[in-house]
Amino acid sequence: MKLKNKIAIITGAASGIGREQAILFAAEGATVIAVDQSQEALEEVVADIKNRKGVAVAIALDLTNDTEVQSMVKDVISRYGRIDILANTAGLFDGFAKSLDTSSDLWNKLMNVNVRAVFILCNAVLPHMLERKSGSIINMASIGSYAAGAGGVAYTSSKHAVLGLTKQLTMDYAASGIRVNAVAPGLIETPLNKDFFQTANSGVDQVIAAIPAKRAGQPIEVAKASLFLASDDAAYINGTAIIIDGGVTATLI
């Protein structure tokens, strides 16, 4: 029960890594506010959590809409009195699109979801955490935060920005008791990249062959690292990212 009586907002909770975070955090004692776009998909996650004797509520919203985000945070504070943990897990992938193949619409879409939404939600939650001088924020970075090749130009740029945001928030607010960290996954089998795994000649075999661990990661492995960062076990960890990639970046940086 590492998160007993904690209130945790998790975005992207309808599937993949976010879903595993929601289930694991609830199993560890947190009340989970599961956030995503699809109410139906969120209700399935919440039902799963409740079947496991956990506590969770589903809130469907557009994370790029400032008003909706502010309203959600206000409702959580009104109902529970505080927010202890924020996991900014929602994200989009660009299918390895090169710069000349990336439209302005695709660029803006990834920046809005992968970066701007993280900024908006952090700013909505931070005043409440600062008031209590306590809180843990876990952002979704990537090995694409360190090197090219984990995605296309928009994805790689957005994940570099997420890591920069994580570091700057640490510099600004660590002295006030706020811990901001990130997880940086490599190749993880999630709905976000299902086309890569399912499409013939996608190169997935070659990618896995280049991973020292010789396999793709699973969402639960990222969720467990997130749990560590969210818990008091990581009380003196600030402004860093846990790389979860089977050893890929050990050969690159």
Domains in the chain: boundaries: 7-251
Helix axes 16-27, 219-230, angle to 10 degrees: 50
79-93, 143-157, 189-203, 226-240 — which is least confidently predicted?
Answer: 189-203
**pLDDT (0 to 100) of residue 252:** 76
Q: Among 132-146, 150-164, 175-189, 201-215, whose mean pLDDT is lowest?
A: 201-215
Q: Is the pLDDT reported for residue 201 higher than 70? A: no
Of the candidates 89, 80, 73, the one whose C-alpha atom is nearest the C-alpha of residue 123 is 73
What are the C-alpha distances in Å from 242 to residues 43, 45, 127, 168?
30, 26, 26, 17
Average pLDDT over residues 18-39: 98
Catalytic residue among 146, 155, 173, 236: 155
3-state secondary structure the chain: CCCCCCEEEEECCCCHHHHHHHHHHHHCCCEEEEEECCHHHHHHHHHHHHHCCCEEEEEECCCCCHHHHHHHHHHHHHHHCCCCEEEECCCCCCCCCCHHHCCHHHHHHHHHHHHHHHHHHHHHHHHHHHHHCCEEEEEECCHHHCCCCCCCHHHHHHHHHHHHHHHHHHHHHHHHCEEEEEEEECCECCHHHHHHHHCCCCCHHHHHHCCCCCCCECHHHHHHHHHHHHCHHHCCCCCCEEEECCCCHHHCC
The pLDDT of residue 198 is 76
80 catalytic per annotation: no
CA distance 146 to 124: 27
pLDDT of the residue at 205: 87
Please give the pLDDT value at position 158.
Answer: 98
Which of 173, 57, 161, 56 shows the shortest CA–CA distance to 114? 161
Q: What is the mean pLDDT of residues 99-123?
A: 98
Question: Quick one: average pLDDT of 130-157?
Answer: 97
Single-letter amino acid code for the residue at 66: D
The CATH number corresponding to 7-251 among 3.40.50.920, 3.20.20.450, 3.40.640.10, 3.40.50.720 equals: 3.40.50.720
